[in-house]
């Protein structure tokens, strides 16, 4: 193998110092590269499809700050609008006309959303939606799926995906039993299991929450009929269906997975893309349910920085860019080239692999067969993925540092970037 080892001295110095200052040296666990081994690189700046580390190395980025950067990093339109908004101040803590603009765009785009509340993160959106599910139905139990991640609130840290899966934690200490005792879990794509839970808990289940396309246990798509079946079951039991589209919203399609699959939930959570790289989250849905939220109704939920003008501005500009004709066709085209290319290379180099892509989201597991749920995903060869990840990094390709995360493209990625990525993958897989 050619010696492609890159110089990362400064990254190593900074990360060593960070480990004395912050737990694990990071502000969010997966960033520490624990599951792929080796040291994380420390970013200096980002632009378009690329990131640069503090040692000056350039990478093609498929993490996109975990989803928000679908227009590419630091898009000039977003930056220009932010500069203008910045001059007017960073936070109002009072009504701001920009909230109306983003709310109108979100409502027009997402089929289930008639009214929306802005918060500061996906975690917050999911916490609030859970409270709302319970407040509206006057029931306490909720069903979530193994490997789905809905942020780090206590009630959701049961068989959760993302960092929880990456680190192999079944659960987290510090979460009281009482917090999760009303959280029921089922395997993803298993309608029968959901049916059984409804039958075993008659009149007690507030609703079902899921990632309509999973990105936090690796990339897993819903089997034909799964989303439709959940819609029927929840209606039959007068429970709510909630799509957590924090990741899939404006990525799987402009109107999210619900537009793509034609299944309309009662409530939806959003985040990531709608903040254009600034901290944001949102939850919305049917007006009769959303009217329960304070001050219109009795369900309390608030936020000092919620709806702040910078996040609203970045979100508005990002959605405007996504509305341009051809955007999603382009995203689908390049992401398909990438995902299919990776699978072909794996086959040619005799590595068992499976995966796929929808729109600007993709994934590949080093596992035979196909992956329909978290149990299947766990069969993947994470050691091999770690070596693949490191090899790609050394060739200037930045992939999510875990087998259990989806990959993201942006419309700043060119076909040339994809070809370079595939050439690197061929080189790495031939030597694995
Ligand atoms: C990222 C994510 C969250 C959590 O959002 P944060 O902004 O990280 O709190 C929740 N649900 C899904 C599906 C996500 O991908």
Give the pocket of ligand 1 (CB within 6 Å): 121-123, 126, 149-151, 211, 215-216, 244, 246-247, 271, 281
Q: Which ligand 1 atom lies nearest to the CA of residue 279?
A: 7
What pLDDT, on the 0 to 100 scale, is given for residue 179? 87
- Domain spans in the chain, listed from the N-terminal domain onward: 9-62+325-431, 76-322
Q: What are phi and psi of 117, to 5 degrees?
A: -125, 130
**Residue 122 CA, closest ligand 1 atom number:** 5
Token pair in block for residue 231:
């819609």
Q: Is 89 helix (H, G, I), strand (E, B) or coil?
A: coil
* Top mutation candidate among 124, 247, 269 for ligand 1, by most atoms within 8 Å of CB: 247
Q: What is the pTM of this model?
A: 0.96
Smallest CA-to-CA distance from 186 within 148, 147, 234, 146 is with 146
The preferred substitution site among 31, 148, 162 for testing ligand 1, maximizing ligand atoms within 8 Å of CB, is: 162
Distance CA 258, CA 389 (A): 32
Residue nearest to ligand 1 atom 5, measured at CA: 122
- Which is nearest to 228 in space by CA: 285, 189, 172? 189
Contact 291, 297 (CB under 8 A): yes
Can you tell me which residue has the tokens 């039959």?
236
Query: Which residue has tokens 């990840």?
Result: 389
pLDDT of residue 159: 83
| Residue having the nearest C-alpha atom to atom 8 of ligand 1 | 122
State the distance from the centre of ligand 1 to the C-alpha of 98, rounded, in angstroms. Answer: 23
Residue 4: what pLDDT?
59
Q: Which atom of ligand 1 lies at the shortest distance from residue 245's CA?
A: 13
Count Cβ atoms below 10 Å from residue 294 Cβ, excluding itself.
11
CA of 246 to the centre of ligand 1 (A): 5
pLDDT, tens digit only, all 432 positions of the chain: 444 578 999 999 999 999 999 999 999 999 999 989 889 999 999 999 999 999 999 999 999 999 999 999 999 999 999 999 999 999 999 999 999 999 999 999 999 999 999 999 999 999 999 999 999 999 999 999 999 999 999 999 888 777 766 655 557 888 888 888 899 999 999 999 999 999 999 999 999 999 999 999 999 999 999 999 999 999 999 999 999 999 999 999 999 999 999 999 999 999 999 999 999 999 999 999 999 999 999 999 999 999 999 999 999 999 999 999 999 999 999 999 999 999 999 999 999 999 999 999 999 999 999 999 999 999 999 999 999 999 999 999 999 999 999 999 999 999 999 999 999 999 999 999
5 token code pair: 């080892």
State the Cα–Cα distance between residues 357 and 408, nearest whole angstrom.
10
| Cα 150 to ligand 1 centre (Å) | 6
Cα separation, 263 vs 271, in Å, equals: 20
Give me the pLDDT at residue 253, please: 98
Burial 141-165 (b: 16+ CB within 10 A, else e): bbbbbbbbbbbbbebbbbbbbbbbb
- Rounded to an integer, what distance in angstroms lies between the CA atom of residue 270 and that of residue 247? 7
Which is nearest to 137 in space by CA: 282, 242, 227, 211? 242
Calculate how far, in angstroms, residue 315's C-alpha sits from the geometric centre of ligand 1. Answer: 16
> What span, in angstroms and rounded, lies between the C-alpha atoms of 317 and 81?
7
Distance of CA 121 from the midpoint of ligand 1 (Å): 7
Quote the pLDDT of residue 105. Answer: 98
In three-state secondary structure terms, 239 is coil
Confirm if 74 and 84 have CB atoms less than 8 A apart.
no
User: What CATH number should be reported for the domain whose range is 76-322?
Assistant: 3.40.640.10
CATH topology identical between 9-62+325-431 and 76-322: no
> Within the chain, what is the greatest distance between any pair of CA atoms?
64
Torsion angle of the four alpha carbons 143, 149, 150, 151, in this order, in degrees rounded to the nearest 10: 140
Q: Show the DSSP H helices in 138-167 as ranges.
A: 163-166
Q: Which of 197, 192, 226 is nearest to 210 (CA)?
A: 226
Atom of ligand 1 nearest to the CA of 211: 13
Reference 270, options 56, 95, 123, 96; nearest CA is: 123
The alpha carbon of 270 and the centre of ligand 1 are apart by a number of angstroms equal to 8
Which H helix or E strand runs over 365?
strand 361-365
| Token representation of residue 122 | 């996906």
Q: Among 30, 120, 126, say which to mutate for ligand 1: greatest number of ligand atoms within 8 Å of CB.
A: 126
User: Residues 302, 293, 282, 219: is their CA dihedral positive or negative?
Assistant: positive
Active-site residue list: 149, 244, 272
Report the candidate in 28, 122, 29 with the shortest Cα–Cα distance to residue 311: 122
Residue whose tokens read 């039958």 = 199
Sheet holding 407-408, edge to edge: 354-358, 361-365, 407-408
Tell me the best of 29, 122, 258 to mutate to test the pocket of ligand 1, counting ligand atoms within 8 Å of each CB and taking the most: 122
Ligand 1 atom with minimal separation from the 271 CA: 7
State the alpha helices, DSSP H only, in 26-153.
76-86, 97-109, 122-137
Residue 141's closest CA among 190, 226, 202? Answer: 202
What is the Å distance from ligand 1's center to 122 Cα?
Answer: 4
Residue 405: what pLDDT?
A: 95
Minimum-distance ligand 1 atom for the alpha carbon of 66: 1
Residue listed under structure tokens 């899939």: 248
CATH code for 9-62+325-431? 3.90.1150.10
Residue 168 is predicted with a pLDDT of: 53
Upper half-sphere CA count for residue 225 (Cβ side, 13 Å): 3
Measured in angstroms, how far is the CA atom of residue 430 from the centroid of ligand 1? 35
User: DSSP E strands: which ranges in 120-204?
Assistant: 141-145, 183-186
Instruction: State residue 159 phi and psi, 5-degree precision.
Output: 45, 45
Indicate which residue's Cα is closest to atom 15 of ligand 1. 247
**Mind giving me the DSSP string for 261-308?**
HT---SEEEEEGGGGTTSS-EEEEE-HHHHTTBTTTSSB----TTTT-
């Amino acid at each position: 193998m050619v010696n492609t080892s890159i110089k990362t001295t400064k990254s190593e110095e900074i990360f060593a110092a960070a480990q004395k200052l912050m737990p694990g040296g990071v502000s969010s666990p997966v960033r520490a590269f624990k599951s792929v081994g080796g040291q994380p690189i420390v970013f200096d700046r980002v632009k378009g499809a690329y990131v640069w580390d503090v040692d000056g190395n350039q990478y093609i980025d498929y993490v996109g700050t975990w989803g928000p950067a679908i227009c590419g990093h630091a898009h000039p339109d977003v930056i220009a609008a932010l500069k203008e908004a910045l001059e007017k101040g960073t936070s109002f803590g009072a009504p701001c006309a920009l909230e109306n603009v983003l709310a109108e765009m979100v409502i027009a785009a997402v089929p289930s959303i008639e009214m929306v509340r802005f918060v500061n993160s996906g975690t917050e959106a999911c916490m609030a939606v859970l409270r709302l599910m319970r407040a509206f139905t006057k029931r306490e139990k909720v069903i979530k799926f193994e490997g789905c991640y809905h942020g780090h609130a206590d009630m959701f840290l049961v068989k959760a995906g993302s960092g929880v899966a990456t680190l192999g934690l079944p659960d987290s200490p510090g979460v009281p039993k009482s917090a999760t005792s009303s959280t029921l879990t089922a395997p993803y794509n298993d309608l029968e299991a959901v049916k059984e839970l409804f039958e075993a808990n008659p009149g007690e289940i507030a609703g079902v929450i899921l990632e309509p396309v999973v990105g936090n246990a690796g990339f897993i798509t819903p089997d034909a009929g799964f989303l439709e079946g959940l819609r029927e079951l929840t209606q039959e039991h007068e429970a709510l269906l909630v799509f957590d589209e924090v990741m899939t919203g404006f990525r799987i399609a402009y109107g999210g997975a619900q537009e793509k699959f034609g299944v309309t939930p009662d409530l939806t959570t959003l985040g990531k893309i709608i903040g254009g790289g600034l901290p944001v989250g949102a939850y919305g849905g049917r007006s009769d349910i959303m009217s329960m939220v304070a001050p219109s109704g009795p369900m309390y939920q608030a936020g000092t920085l919620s709806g702040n003008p910078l996040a609203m501005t970045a979100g508005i500009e990002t959605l405007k860019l996504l509305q341009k004709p051809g955007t999603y066709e382009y995203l689908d085209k390049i992401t398909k080239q990438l995902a299919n290319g990776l699978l072909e290379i794996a086959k040619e180099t005799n590595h068992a692999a499976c995966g796929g892509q929808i729109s600007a989201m993709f994934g590949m597991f080093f596992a035979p067969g196909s992956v329909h749920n978290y149990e299947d995903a766990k069969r993947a060869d994470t050691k091999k993925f770690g070596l693949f990840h490191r090899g790609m990094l050394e060739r200037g390709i930045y992939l999510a540092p875990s087998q259990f995360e989806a990959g993201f493209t942006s419309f700043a990625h060119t076909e040339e970037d994809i070809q370079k990525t595939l050439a690197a993958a061929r080189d790495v897989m031939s030597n694995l």
